[in-house]
Amino acid sequence: KEYYREALKVVREENQKLFDRHMKLLSEEALKNAVGYLDKNCRREIEENEWLKEEVKIYRKEESDLKASVKLLEEENTSLVAKLIDTKLQHLRL
């Protein structure tokens, strides 16, 4: 009895995944068809908007990488300054 419940659950989940994927494909196809009815300027604006979205993703990744690099450099600089101060203090004690 439990086996059949699990099997039914798995089948339902798989059906839901297939349905969701099918609806996504239908939505994408409907969007493509709708864009086809727009004039050339509107289509170009949509294409430029998609391109800009991709550019924003790239720049955000670069920004994130740069922030991580800056953080590492700041930590390294702090460590070097601390070592320099320690060295100067040791020389003063001599």
Within 8 A by CB and 6+ apart from 35, the residues are: 42, 43, 46
- Give yes or no for a contact between 35 and 43, defined as CB atoms under 8 angstroms apart: yes
Q: Is the pLDDT of residue 35 over 80?
A: no
Mean pLDDT lowest among 30-44, 58-72, 79-93: 30-44
In the chain, where do the E strands start and end? none
Over residues 27-45, the mean pLDDT reads: 85
Name the token pair of 28.
């994408």
Overall pTM surpassing 0.75 (yes/no): no
Q: Which residue has the tokens 């920004």?
A: 63
